[in-house]
Amino acid sequence: MKKIITFTLQNNVYASAAPIEADGFSVTADIRKYPEYSATYEQHRIVNTTGEDIHVEKFIDYDIHLPLDGKVKDRYETTGGTALRVVRMEGMEPSHPYSRDDLRSATEYALTDDFLRKNRSYENLGGRSSDGIMPLFDVTNGKDGYIIFIGWTGSWHADFDIADGGVHGVLCLGNNTFRLPAGESLATMSMLIMEYHDGQKAARNRFRRLMKKHFSTVGQPGRPTEAMSCWELWGALPSDEMCRRIDALKENNILFDYIWLDAGWYGDFTEICRGPFDLAWSKFTGYWKINETWHPDGLLDVVKHTQDAGMQFELWFEPERCVVKLPPIKEHPEWFTVIEGNGVIDYGNPDAWQYVYDTLCHLIDTLKLGCYRQDFNTDIINFWRKDRTPEEASLKELQHINGLYRLWDALLERYPHLLIDNCASGGRRFDLETVKRAIPFFRSDYQCNFNADPDVTQCHNTISEYLPYNGCTTKIKADTYAARSTFSSAWGLACWNSSIQTMDESDFAWASKMSREYCRIRPYFSCDYYSLASAGYDKSSWVIWQYDRPEENDGVVLAFRRARSPIKTMTMTFGGEHSGKSCTFTDMDTNERFTVSTEELAKGFTLTIDEPYKSRILLYHFDA
């Protein structure tokens, strides 16, 4: 029987700088500092070199003190003042991802101030890092503060409380007591923390710049300089029809980077599957054999038409999940944990991990993929826990999440051109470590609905307060308001992806206009961001986004007068600091140009939209 050593780690140093060792057990810290942003990244790795299993108890990754002036807000105060608070961001709503509950879906990514009158505790749901709540916090008194982004794609826990001269924070794994086998080396939670003293608006944009420059694959050598723009096709659409549609995009000058093939392209089913709500596709998830009924040429003809149209190919996978009775589980049951007809693969099993890697590489090579889309539609925590003690379940989680990182890192290293599209029932795996490796093209699965409310997808853009790369799409054709409501640093159209959707000449002309309009303003979406009107779900309000590029002294404003708004004009405070005596605006709908002095602009900028459910896009440039 192996000897078990109990070891408790308490890391009481902000951005610890030294490894910790005890009896062959070590914790190392990968620390990277970004002084121009007043930011520090830290990730821990635990290593067992004892030759025996170790019992690790109450492992705390970060026990930190945040110096911060402020007071505890009294219950009778009506203003925040310098009260200490934690600004948190809602994650995905904890229900079916295709929810038609617009009010609930619109709360995804909403910001809430939690005043620190007492200890505040936060944790995600289901084992996916942004399910229920985002692992992103802004601890602040309004002017000064710390933005903290957690990197752990499993279960996590965070506590914040008042401390002498500031705030005390504790960040750890959701289950932080586990058995560490002999010879095991595993990464645990990472943290990015950025200190600021110039107010939240400026800090959030500085954080966006930090993420863009140091924590994104976009723009890395060999990779695209912008996030993906995609035209979606349903995977069970027959190949000849896919080719016809791709040719039509080329003929009508509709411009996208990728043809994105969604689920349903695999397996042996022969029944017609019109889209995600026809569930034949889901019965074969995990069996990554190209469906010969619908794709007799193995999708090679689709790839050729895609390339001939000047686009690359993107393909949907869900490699961690497999339906029972399919070949992978029948042939290798030891690779999977099965619950109620679904199996989740064990990335801690070297053979299982290698199978996933080899399968993906084969299809990336064969189909010449430019973007790999990984989905995951399962509350994985139940699979980690099944028939295991809490310690065993925690170890299984550590091994699985490490395997996920190792898989994505291996793909990015092997394919220096590749982008990874991170989906997990929408944006349910959105954290620092996934952001380092992938882009959430679907920040919410709400947009899977064929008639998704544009005003809800507008609300999801709150994620842009902190993170420059994220995406949205629409399936509504010939609706400029709906399309513009989904414009993001990654963007797609899905208005002709399934067999039930049609396009005519006027629809093609509209899609071409939208794609060209997006291409023109696309570079701004990863620059500084300002929300100049309502960010909530209110049909009587306006929504106004400003994306500012201070390096070029220019930017773009997108304004939306919602369906029940009685207001024709809106005056807002322009964001950013600019040089120049005047600002020239260009209306993208009319090409009208007008100039406003910088002095007038500082007093307030007024926009007019004559009708409800209409939008305007204005390019601007400050003149010397």
pLDDT per residue as tens digits for the range 35-54: 999 999 999 999 998 888 88
Q: Are residues 41 and 68 in the same domain?
A: yes
Domain presence at residue 344: no
Most confident of 43-47, 95-99, 270-274, 429-433: 429-433
Return the H-helix or E-strand segment holding 48. strand 39-48
Q: Are residues 563 and 513 in the same domain?
A: no
For 298, which DSSP code? T
Domain presence at residue 90: yes
The closest alpha carbon to 171, from 186, 151, 187, belongs to 151
Spatial separation of the C-alpha atoms in residues 480 and 495, rounded to whole Å? 12
Q: What is the pLDDT of residues 485-542, one digit of tens each?
A: 999 999 999 999 999 999 999 999 999 999 999 999 999 999 999 999 999 999 999 9
Q: Are residues 210 and 125 in the same domain?
A: yes
Tokens of 37: 């942003």
Instruction: Report the CATH number that the domain containing residue 77 is assigned in CATH.
Output: 2.70.98.60
Q: Are residues 166 and 253 in the same domain?
A: no
Q: What is the pLDDT of residues 192-201, one digit of tens each?
A: 999 999 999 9
- Residue holding tokens 């694959």? 217
Structural domain of 465: 229-318+370-525
Spatial separation of the C-alpha atoms in residues 465 and 67, rounded to whole Å? 24
Q: Are residues 521 and 549 in the same domain?
A: no
Residue 9: the pLDDT is 52
Q: Are residues 178 and 277 in the same domain?
A: no
Distances (CA, A) of 471 to 272, 438, 443, 561: 29, 12, 6, 22
- Residue holding tokens 């007038």? 600
Q: Are residues 275 and 175 in the same domain?
A: no
The domain boundary residue, chosen from 146, 180, 214: 214
Residue 221: the pLDDT is 95
**Based on the structure, what is the number of domains in the chain?**
3
Domain presence at residue 447: yes
352 and 333 Cβ atoms separated by less than 8 Å: no
- pLDDT of 353 > 80? The answer is yes
Q: What is the pLDDT of residues 610-621, one digit of tens each?
A: 999 999 999 999
Mean pLDDT, the chain, whole residue set: 93
Domain presence at residue 365: no
Spatial separation of the C-alpha atoms in residues 569 and 566, rounded to whole Å? 9
Residue 5: the pLDDT is 53
Those residues whose C-beta lies under 8 Å from the C-beta of residue 608, and which sit 6 or more positions away, are 568, 569
- Ramachandran sector of residue 286 (left: φ over 0; alpha: ψ -120 to 50; beta: rest): left
Domain presence at residue 360: no
Instruction: Report the CATH number that the domain containing residue 546 is assigned in CATH.
Output: 2.60.40.1180
Residue 22: the pLDDT is 63
Domain presence at residue 335: no
Q: Are residues 480 and 429 in the same domain?
A: yes
Whole-structure pTM over 0.85, yes or no?
Answer: yes
Spatial separation of the C-alpha atoms in residues 183 and 49, rounded to whole Å? 5
Q: Are residues 617 and 496 in the same domain?
A: no
Residues pairing with 596 in the sheet: 583
- pLDDT of 123 > 50? The answer is yes
Q: What is the pLDDT of residues 391-406, one digit of tens each?
A: 999 999 999 999 999 9
Q: Are residues 290 and 239 in the same domain?
A: yes
Tokens of 581: 């005596």
pLDDT band at 274 (very low <50, low <70, confident <90, very high): confident
Domain presence at residue 346: no
The domain boundary residue, chosen from 180, 214, 248: 214
Instruction: Report the CATH number that the domain containing residue 422 is assigned in CATH.
Output: 3.20.20.70
Residue 11: the pLDDT is 46
Those residues whose C-beta lies under 8 Å from the C-beta of residue 581, and which sit 6 or more positions away, are 597, 598, 623, 624
> Strands 614-623, 554-561: parallel, antiparallel or unpaired by DSSP?
antiparallel
pLDDT band at 549 (very low <50, low <70, confident <90, very high): very high
The domain boundary residue, chosen from 491, 508, 525: 525
The closest alpha carbon to 261, from 322, 312, 216, 219, belongs to 312
Give the three-class secondary structure for 177: coil
